[in-house]
Amino acid sequence: MRSSLTKSLQVLCALSMLTPLAALAHDESTPLIDKVRAATARFLNINVALAEGFVPATPCVSGPDAGAMGVHLVYPPRLNMIVLDPRQPQALIYEPMANGAMRLVGVEFIVLEGVWEASNPPPAVPALDGNLMNLVGFPNRFGLPAFYEMHVWAWEQNPKGSYADWNTNVTCSHQPDKSR
């Protein structure tokens, strides 16, 4: 009996030592994510973002089966420039909450294709801290000219990856109904 209790305790101790490692694997931290968090912590309060010139650009963006992105607030002066700095995202992404609050979940870096190509001949592709940005062609659901983009889910863990477009942990189910 004593040896089975000892074995059980050894297994329990071994498992408890693995739990923090498993938790770290799901709460990814990279140098890019750390830079984005440090630069955007003040925007956890959406009123600070609005006061600093970010403006609503989209309602809550969701996909049919891939989760959501959230509500995008953009900083217009950065949209017509090539700004590839983790401390200067072009967009902040918020998730509408049931109580009406908006929760910062990530950021998006956006570079218009025409602006990029004016300074960088093809096949050069913009990259942020070594991560290539994705090209979204024209026409697109946002009504923008072709652009490069990259999401960084700095404030909400994403099972699809920290730089994936859609986050299955984000929902638009609490988007206010503007038709009323």
**pLDDT tens digits, 17-51:** 333 333 333 457 899 999 999 999 999 999 999 99
User: Can you tell me the distance from the alpha carbon of 54 to that of 63, in angstroms, rounded to the nearest whole number?
Assistant: 24
100 found inside a domain: yes
Percentage of the chain lying above the pLDDT 90 cut = 70
40 found inside a domain: yes
User: Can you tell me the distance from the alpha carbon of 137 to that of 139, in angstroms, rounded to the nearest whole number?
Assistant: 6
16 found inside a domain: no
**In this predicted model, which residue has the larger pLDDT, 54 or 143?**
54
**In this predicted model, which residue has the larger pLDDT, 24 or 3?**
3
33 found inside a domain: yes
Distances (CA, A) of 18 to 8, 10, 29, 71, 158: 15, 13, 18, 36, 21
**In this predicted model, which residue has the larger pLDDT, 103 or 82?**
103
131 found inside a domain: yes
141 found inside a domain: yes
DSSP state of 77: G
140 found inside a domain: yes
User: Can you tell me the distance from the alpha carbon of 155 to that of 174, in angstroms, rounded to the nearest whole number?
Assistant: 18
The whole domain housing 50 covers 28-152
> How many domains does one find in the chain?
1
21 found inside a domain: no
Average confidence score pLDDT of the chain: 85
0.85 exceeded by pTM:
no
**Exposure b/e, 51-61, CB count within 10 A at least 16 = b:** eeebeebeebb
The segment with the largest mean pLDDT, out of 8-12, 63-67, 160-164, is 160-164
